[in-house]
Amino acid sequence: MIVTLLVLIFLVAPLSLFIHELGHLFPGLYFRADHSVLHLGRGKVIGRWEKSGIHVYIHLFFFQGAYSVNERKPPFKDFEKAWISIGGPLLNALTAFVLFLWFKEQGGDLLRISFLFNTYLALVNLVPFSIKGKGSDGYRLWSIVKRRF
């Protein structure tokens, strides 16, 4: 039980969060972001990768969340912002589907935990909520829809 929890905290969650944030970067790059940044974790930067306007930073406490930013001049249009917002949950859903098929075939706790956590990220991030001014992907998407209609 304790090993499973440690695997979730230090392996599955950071990898799943990284996948989620890549799901935001890919549409940003597709819509020609001038600058895309992905941060995995908090604290001192212990690793970085930079190429062609893409910056990836791995922080010491890599298991403490993640976030990404896409910037462009002129600013993104609403439909582009919507795709960027939904990209994270969509990539987690796709990852969960692949893990489900793999788990169904191979079994194993690591695959099951990875499937469940990616499913959790996909679903929870689609729920529109805001905490201390930070909105979920679903909240950003809902705000765009509300503004447009």
Interatomic CA distance for residues 27 and 75, integer angstroms: 14
Q: What is the pLDDT of residue 107?
A: 80
Residue 127's domain comprises 1-34+74-148
Is residue 1 in some structural domain? Answer: yes
**Is 59 inside a domain boundary?**
no
Judge whether 131 lies within some domain: yes
What does the pLDDT read at residue 114? 96
Looking at the domain assignment, is residue 67 inside a domain?
no
Whether residue 60 lies inside any domain: the answer is no
SS3 assignment, position 125: helix
Give the pLDDT of residue 87. Answer: 98
Q: What is the Cα–Cα distance from 86 to 115, expressed in whole angstroms? A: 19
| Mean pLDDT, the chain cut into blocks of 10 residues (149 residues total) | 93 98 98 97 97 95 96 97 98 97 86 96 97 95 92
Counts of helices then strands in the chain (DSSP H, E): 5, 4
- What does each C-alpha distance from 130 to 21, 125, 126, 142 come to in angstroms? 18, 11, 12, 11
Identify the H or E element spanning 131.
strand 130-131
